[in-house]
Amino acid sequence: MGYKVVVVGATGNVGKEMLNILAEREFPVDEIAALASRKSLGTEVSFGDRTLKTQDLDTFDFTGWDIALFAIGSDATKVYAPKAAASGCVVIDNSSLYRYDPDIPLIVPEVNADDVVRYKNKNIIANPNCSTAQMVVALKPLHDRARIKRVVVATYQSVSGTGKEAMDELWNQTKGIFVPGQEVEPKVYPKQIAFNVIPHIDVFLDSGETKEEWKMVAETKKILDPKIKVTATCVRVPVFVGHSEAINIEFEDYLDWEEATDILREAPGVLVVDKREAGGYITPIECVGEYATYVSRIRQDSTIENGLNLWCVSDNLRKGAALNAVQIAEVLGNRCLKKG
């Protein structure tokens, strides 16, 4: 006996990936529904070798369904997620709405799977920010060994993290630069993204940091350890899919880069590609469509007593969003719901 699963926001980038990954990982689905807004009603989406027609989220009855994977914005989630949860359907939410609620678990299965039992508080589980998810997968095994004191991270985030309109803007701006008269002014982003980088993701806060930077701090503390100090600079780059991060880590205890490499090679969800030669590292293009969080450029930081530097890359639509949500569903099923 399998699960009755709902994918909410099935026509978006993340929703489509959720359907793909549910099929790829052979999640035990007895019945599946693809939901979208009324304007997308009847749009066809793929689920393995099947084609599903989207149903209207506004009129859908969640009663009798087991798990709902939400991939819509916070405003819509605020309306529909409580309805699903109240009907007995467990919500796994990809928006930022519930991440900082102390009663709702924020889960990255490789890091804090045991917290999934807390879904019973509100019948909701939060999926973390894409940039946080890949970082904590890499940090967790190192933290277990040497205890992390402080993390300094600079992100290089792809436009797919903003959505389809941002991907279109990058594509059209890039073409327009080479075709006189077809130049495209910025609409999604405050400045041109083609052939440029923008040190601004989400809104600015009074502190001077952006909300994306604040999210990485708050979520790392909630998922991994509240004692870890984190500072982030988040940058949008002209890459379609795949987030990259340059991470500097300060530990309480000394950790040699060679031992760190061995630890990461054995860590769940991590693939180390680190040859100290040209091309001996992973870039975003190579991670697209993959499940793993890739780690390269592992090296000692000689400027502090117990420091390491590393490069971390992952498909933000997968581990940063859809894959992590499906992994949460797998843990929820195996440990709590016990069907399939």
Give strand pairing partners of 244: 156, 313
DSSP string, 300-335: E-TTSTTEEEEEEEE-TTIIIIIHHHHHHHHHHIII
- Residue 336 a catalytic site member: no
Residue 174 marked in a binding site: no
Candidates 130, 234, 287, 312; catalytic one: 130
CB of 235 closer than 8 Å to CB of 201: yes
Residue 99 marked in a binding site: yes
Residue 217 marked in a binding site: no
Candidates 143, 243, 287, 312; catalytic one: 243
Phi, psi for residue 183 in degrees, rounded to 5: -65, 145
Residue 273 marked in a binding site: no
Place of tokens 């991994």: 224
Phi, psi for residue 220 in degrees, rounded to 5: -60, -40
13-24 and 323-332 helices, crossing angle to 10° = 50
Residue 11 marked in a binding site: yes
Residue 48 marked in a binding site: no
Helix, strand, coil percent content, the chain, rounded in steps of 5: 35, 25, 40
* CA 35 to chain centroid: 21
**Residues near 298 by Cβ (< 8 Å), separated by ≥ 6?**
257, 260, 261, 264, 272, 274, 308, 309, 310
Residue 236 marked in a binding site: yes
Residue 160 marked in a binding site: yes
Q: How far is CA 236 from CA 32, 109, 191, 195, in A?
A: 35, 27, 11, 11
- Residue 234 a catalytic site member: no
**Residue numbering of the annotated binding site:** 11-14, 39-40, 99, 157, 160-161, 236, 316
**Residue numbering of the annotated binding site for substrate:** 157, 236
**Residue numbering of the annotated binding site for NADP(+):** 11-14, 39-40, 160-161, 316
Q: Return the active site residues.
A: 130, 243
